[in-house]
Amino acid sequence: MAAEIKVQVVRKSDEATDIISLELASCNGAPLPPFSAGSHIDVVLPNGQRRQYSLCNDPEETHRYQIAVLREVAGRGGSVAMHALREGDVIAISPPRNHFALSSESGPSLLLAGGIGITPILCMAERLSASSAPFDLHYFSRSAQRTAFRDRILTSPFASSCNFHYDDEPAERKIELEDLLRSSSPEMHLYVCGPAGFMEAVLATARGLGWAETRLHYEFFSAPTDQTHIDEAFQIQLASSALRCRD
């Protein structure tokens, strides 16, 4: 990995059912590279797997990165390995990259998060709040117990801009995506992150209501193909002879 940074896990916390957060600090005490809201880092796991995680702390901070990880038992083991990390462990990460940046830190924004998709969205909410930009945050999750950073949001300066929606709440309290997107002002920018089905429903509804593509911003968390075994030289030895072949 280019320009790899060694960081130490300085804090590990339970944020919700199946979700932990990890606080990472540089091993030599040097400030970490700056980042903007919506950025993510690559993490190289002790088993060589590489996964991406969005930064969810205040972008003004240079002494730490905070990430949160949903345990996905149906996956290839990356999130399970992340959950096994302990305070004191040293891991390698990439510098932050941003493919999901705020297009404006002053205009009105509609932030929609589904489940663990809150990570980049929370960072955006904190950035918009710090610059006094108008925004609404709608955070959809299965239940209050599965809602990471609920207390952090409820005690934040932007608590009144945040609406929580739970799958297990009574039908009369549920909000229709179409009503939500229809009632938004025409100059608003939409930012959405969460499970693929949730994002596809949000984007299809917005497009159906005539939202311009330039106002739609999104990031899918689907993992890229694991490339840890690609682009590396390897040798094979035929069992029946001493012949060695290089790729």
Residues forming contacts to ligand FAD in the complex (CB under 6 A) are 40, 51-54, 67-70, 72, 74-80, 116, 119, 219, 221, 223
Q: Which amino acid is at 220?
A: F
Q: Could you tell me the smallest distance in angstroms from the CB atom of residue 109 to ligand FAD?
A: 19
C-beta of 107 vs 195, nearer to ligand FAD: 195
Q: Could you tell me the smallest distance in angstroms from the CB atom of residue 71 to ligand FAD?
A: 8
| CA 16, chain centre distance (Å) | 15
C-beta of 67 vs 153, nearer to ligand FAD: 67
Q: Give the ranges where the chain is alpha helix by DSSP (H).
A: 78-84, 118-130, 150-154, 177-182, 196-208
| Among 164, 235, 223, 219, CA closest to 42 | 223
E strand or H helix that includes residue 165: strand 162-166
C-beta of 109 vs 115, nearer to ligand FAD: 115
Joined together, the tokens standing for residue 159 give: 């608590």
Three-state DSSP at 149 gives: coil
C-beta of 94 vs 161, nearer to ligand FAD: 94
Q: Could you tell me the smallest distance in angstroms from the CB atom of residue 43 to ligand FAD?
A: 8
C-beta of 96 vs 180, nearer to ligand FAD: 96
Q: Could you tell me the smallest distance in angstroms from the CB atom of residue 165 to ligand FAD?
A: 20
Which residues have CB under 8 Å from 220's CB, separation 6+? 196, 199
Q: Could you tell me the smallest distance in angstroms from the CB atom of residue 120 to ligand FAD?
A: 7
C-beta of 198 vs 221, nearer to ligand FAD: 221
Q: Which residue is nearest to ligand FAD (CB)?
A: 75
DSSP 170: -
Q: Could you tell me the smallest distance in angstroms from the CB atom of residue 44 to ligand FAD?
A: 12
Residue 226 CB coordination number (10 Å): 14
**Is the alpha carbon torsion for 28, 49, 96, 161 positive or negative?**
negative
User: Starting at the edge strand that comes first in sequence, how are the strands of the sheet with 189-193 ordered?
Assistant: 162-166, 135-141, 109-114, 189-193, 216-219
